[in-house]
Every structure is written in C-alpha cells, then in structure tokens.
Amino acid sequence: MSSAMRRIKRGLKRHHRYNTVEYNTEILVHGRMVYGCERCDRRWSMYLEKGIEEPGENHKPSPFVIQCPFCGGMARDISGIIGFAGGGYYPLPDGASYFANRKDSDCGVPILN
Ligand SMILES: [Zn+2]
C-alpha cells in the first residue's frame, strides 16, 4: 500500500470516530438482557447499546447486579444476551431501559426508564 493510501485510510478512521460521537441522539442497540429483581420479582428488559456485551477490542461488560427501579432491591440478569433475529443494530425502543456505552465507564451504565 502506498503511503498516500495509508494516510487516506487513517483519515477515514478518524472521521468515523468523530461522527460516532456526534450521533448522540440516536442510540443503537444489538440485543437485550432480562433482569429480575430478587426482592419484588419484577422483570424487565435492559437493552444493550452498541459495544456493551459485544466481542471486540473495546468490549465492555454489563453490571452483574443493578438496583431495581421499582423497589430498590438487587436485580440480576436472568436471560443471558437475547440478540435480534438476523443480528444487526436497531434504534433503542421509546421508553426502554438500557445499558449505555459511556466513554468514562468500563462497563455498561444502567439507564432505567
Ligand atoms: Zn424490585
């Protein structure tokens, strides 16, 4: 590969990262995990933002335990990862809870809606 081509490729990569930061109004998810509360027994879906619980060099796990939004008890994953049929990314459904992929956190940040 010529040095000019390498420069172009590096430039494209930087541009892509820049764009990803700009798209903060659209949350893309690749699946969900069902969390269940040990105290009140409620169950709900936590969607997984792109980069959370996905293989790859920037892999970030979701927390083992989160606080139940209904009673304040401890809730755990009871389903494992449930991907979309056929795979891929979809926008977060309106009003859904999810694990956000934040730059300043090593694991998914629970956003409970
Ligand atoms: Zn609860």
- Domain boundaries of the chain, sorted by first residue: 26-111
**In this structure, are residues 73 and 66 in contact, taking their beta carbons and an 8 Å threshold?**
no
The Cα 74–Cα 72 span in angstroms is 7
Q: What is the pLDDT of residues 23-54, one digit of tens each?
A: 335 799 999 999 999 999 999 999 999 999 99
Task: Say how many Å lie between the CA of residue 85 and the centre of ligand 1.
Answer: 30
What one-character-per-residue DSSP string does 47-86 give?
Answer: EEETTBS--STT-BPPPSEEE-TTTS-EEEE-S--EEPTT
Stated pTM of the model: 0.75
Task: Say how many Å lie between the CA of residue 46 and the centre of ligand 1.
Answer: 14
Task: Say how many Å lie between the CA of residue 39 and the centre of ligand 1.
Answer: 5
- Residue 91's alpha-carbon distances to 14, 47, 81, in angstroms, are 24, 10, 17
Residue 106 tokens read as 């090593």
Residue with tokens 């956003």: 111
Q: Regarding beta strands 82-83 and 28-37, do their DSSP bridges make them parallel or antiparallel, or are they unpaired?
A: antiparallel
Residue 37 tokens read as 């509360």
Task: Say how many Å lie between the CA of residue 43 and the centre of ligand 1.
Answer: 8
List the one residue out of 45, 56, 47, 60 whose CA is nearest residue 102: 60
Q: Which of 3-7, 17-21, 77-81 has the lowest mean pLDDT?
A: 17-21
Q: What is the pLDDT of residues 71-99, one digit of tens each?
A: 999 999 999 999 999 999 988 888 899 99
